[in-house]
Amino acid sequence: MTEARGARVWLSIAVVLVLWASAFAGIKAGLTAYGPGQVALLRFGTASLVLAVYALVAHMRMPARRDLPRLVVAGITGITIYHVALNYGEVKVSAGAASLLIAAGPVFTALMSVAFLGERLRWIGWLGIAISFAGVALISFGEGGGFTFEPAALLVLLSAVSTSVYFIVSKEPLSRYSALEMTSYAIWLGTIPMLVFLPGLVSQMAVAPAPATLAVIYLGVFPGAVAYVLWSYALARMPASLLSTFLYLSPALAILIAWIWIGEVPEALTLVGGALAVAGVVVVNTRGSGAQRKARVEAMAEEPEP
């Protein structure tokens, strides 16, 4: 990477981490007046509108027909499933715990990279996966109050799996489309299934307090449209499995933002489980793939400017 290009990529990653970390508290703020599905629809309806205005002004090209199946999968997994499941999970799971569970996403990305991209994990990588899942279990129990399992944590875990699928399927189209185009297609296609929540959204908006509505609109513009564009920009210039490792920095920011924004303090067991989950992710993504990781880093450094 050239120095200027490298600086743009790192800045994009930093901004995304802060915006996505703030989303967990923002969802909690929105859920005070809206249902989980309505939060998702209002958020990505807003993001879709912002991106549609830009698309009209910039005369954005339409995607090729041959790419539509992959783009639909990206939209359904990365937008519809991820955000609807996360919102329903956050009805019972704290914002900080949700961010810790989502931080397990790189483990799923690593497993999918093994299955679909031909990458390999060493024994220490599999150990890291076991450690991470032990941490996930502790978070699930911590959110249930002591050692009572909280089923809603499984919905947040589903979000982590779905976003890993999004990272994998988005990589190939990003060789033909810009970050803005790829993000727009995914968000538009992922928002369409959410229209099932439209009748409830109309009635809830009529009585929702302004702070809750503004929180969800913020989610649509910044953690939604802006962050997804920046993430796609970085994903086009860095391997998916390597880029996803930066997500383990998000929980610390999310817990801090949730404390400041909504006064949420995580349970001790949740923090212990989060530390284990993040430690497992670090092991998988720094020690687990050996020479393959070195090759990916070298490829990233040598990749020409698109």
Best CA proximity match to 39, nearest among 100, 82, 96: 82
292 pLDDT band, cuts 50/70/90, is very low
Question: pLDDT band at residue 5, thresholds of 50, 70 and 90?
Answer: low
Lowest-confidence range among 42-56, 133-147, 149-163, 221-235? 133-147
User: Encoding tokens for residue 210?
Assistant: 């302004």
Name the DSSP letter for residue 33.
T
**pLDDT given at position 294:** 47
Short-list 77, 84, 32, 305, CA closest to 170: 77
Residue 123 in this model has a pLDDT that exceeds 70: yes
Instruction: Please choose, from the candidates 190, 184, 159, the residue with its C-alpha nearest in 3D space to the C-alpha of residue 74.
Output: 190
pLDDT tier for residue 149 given thresholds of 50, 70 and 90: low
Chain-wide mean pLDDT for the chain? Answer: 83
Q: Rounded to an integer, what distance in angstroms lies between the CA atom of residue 89 and that of residue 87?
A: 5
Task: Examine the pLDDT at 304 and tell me if it is beyond 50.
Answer: no
Per the structure block, which two tokens stand in for 238?
């860095």
Crossing angle between the packed helical segments 123-143 and 152-171, to the nearest 10 degrees: 140
Task: Write down the pLDDT at residue 274.
Answer: 77
d(CA 190, CA 208): 25
Structure tokens belonging to residue 14:
């930093």
Listed by start position, the domains of the chain span 3-302
Residues ≥6 apart with Cβ < 8 Å to 130? 280
Q: Region 216-226: what's the mean pLDDT?
A: 94
Which is higher by pLDDT, 72 or 138? 72
Both structure tokens of 299 = 């490829």
* pLDDT value, residue 68: 95
**What's the whole-number mean pLDDT along residues 140-156?**
72
